[in-house]
Each structure stands twice: as C-alpha cells, then as structure tokens.
Copies of this chain bind each other. A is one copy, B any other.
Amino acid sequence: MRFKKNDKLVMIGDSITDCGRNRPVGEGIGDPYGKGYVSLVDGLLKTVYPELAIRVVNMGTSGNTVRDLAERWQKDVLDLKPDWLSVMIGTNDVWRQFDQPYIPESHVYPEEYEATLDELVAKTKMRVKGIVLMTPFYLEPNRSDPMRATMDRYGEIVKRVAERHGTVFVDTQAAFDEVLAHIYPAALAWDRVHPSMAGHATLARAFLQAVGFVWQ
C-alpha cells in the first residue's frame, strides 16, 4: 500500500471526478466528496485502512479540460500541499470536438493536451510523494468509433506522460473494456461519458489496485 499514515490525497479532474463535491474545497462536512469514485475511494480507504487516516480532497470541476486545470493548478493543487495527487482529465478535451464540432475554440487538441499535462506533472512531481495519472475513457466498445479512437489517442498520451515522469498509471479505459465485454454502454451511462455507480466502482477499483490497496 503506497499511502502512509496521515497522507493527504488530492484528486483532480472534470465532472466525473466532481460529482457535486464541497466547494471551494472538496472535504469537510456533509457529503464532501460528491457521489462518484472519489467518495468510493475515501470510503474504502476508511473501511479497510482506518488506522492510516488518509485525508482525501476532491478538487474535480465539471466541464474542465486540461486547459482549465492549468489555470487553477496553483490554487487548487499546489496551495493545498498534497502528499499524493491523482489526475483524470481529457474527456471534455475530446468530447467538445464531437458534440460542438462548430465551436473550435472549445476543443483541446492532442498537442496542447500533451504539452499542458506534461508541464503540470513536471512542476508538481518534486513537491509530492507521488502522482497517479488516470486516462480519460469513453464507454463505447467499438474502437473504430471516431470519438473512441480519439479518446484512445489521449489515453496513450497520458501513458506516455506517466512513463516519462515515472508516475503511477491507471488505464481506466482498459478497466471499462472488461466490463463492456459483457454489458452494453446504455446500461452503464446514458451518454457514454457519465457512469452510473457501477462505473464509479470500476474507476475506484482501478485506482485502488494501482496504489496497492488490498481488499481483504
């Protein structure tokens, strides 16, 4: 298990991370982690490793692309002084190219995506104990679907950045593909993007396995 006692884990991303978290900072009273995989990660850590007292903070923001992350990185990541950081971004970078094809200023193309993500990791890695990079995903089993193919390309970028900087890497698309072999996308997400609790369980499990979590 990579996390140590009292580690602070900041998880950043888009709406799939956000899920209605507390604002301005995603921790504290009520339902602070929202209703997605961050809440499951926190719950399973508290259940299985209560003695570790891991402090989870959800900093996802709906609609964000990597361009938006860069703008709020100082305030929403560095200022919070995390021990561990997870990043899952790219869905909107790709989606806008397909659901708003006529509005190019809303698209983030691969070059910008890779350069920005790389820069964020580069300037952060020396200030934390570890980083977990998670790929974006698309709940479409047909790999030749244009949006799926594009999303896969962004996932490869995440893998490349992870390898370049030696971070933990989580292939969420691969995790989902195992499920999609048995379950049609419409049963997992109305828009193939925002998963039901079953999809969030898939994300939480993929994340936890990557950091050495042992269920039993």
Q: In the complex, what residue of chain B is closest to A206 when comparing beta carbons?
A: B47
Contact status A43-B201, CB under 8 Å: yes
How many residues on chain A are close to B (CB under 8 Å)?
Answer: 56
CA gap between A196 and B202 in the complex, in Å: 20
Does A166 touch B at the CB level, under 8 Å?
Answer: no
Does A77 touch B at the CB level, under 8 Å?
Answer: no
Question: Chain B residues with Cβ under 8 A from A146's Cβ?
Answer: 184
Q: In the complex, what residue of chain B is closest to A48 when comparing beta carbons?
A: B205
Min CB–CB distance A207 → chain B (angstroms): 12
Contact status B187-A100, CB under 8 Å: yes
Known: A146-B184, A182-B51. A43 touches B200 (CB 8 A): yes
Question: Chain B residues with Cβ under 8 A from A74's Cβ?
Answer: none
C-beta contact mask, A179-198 vs B, less than 8 Å → 1, else 0? 10111101110110000111
**16 CB < 8 A contacts A-B:** A27-B100, A27-B102, A27-B103, A35-B35, A40-B40, A43-B197, A43-B199, A43-B202, A46-B183, A50-B179, A51-B181, A98-B187, A99-B187, A100-B187, A101-B184, A190-B190
Which 10 interchain pairs have the tightest Cβ spacing?
Answer: A43-B201, A215-B215, A55-B102, A50-B182, A46-B198, A99-B186, A43-B198, A98-B184, A43-B197, A47-B202
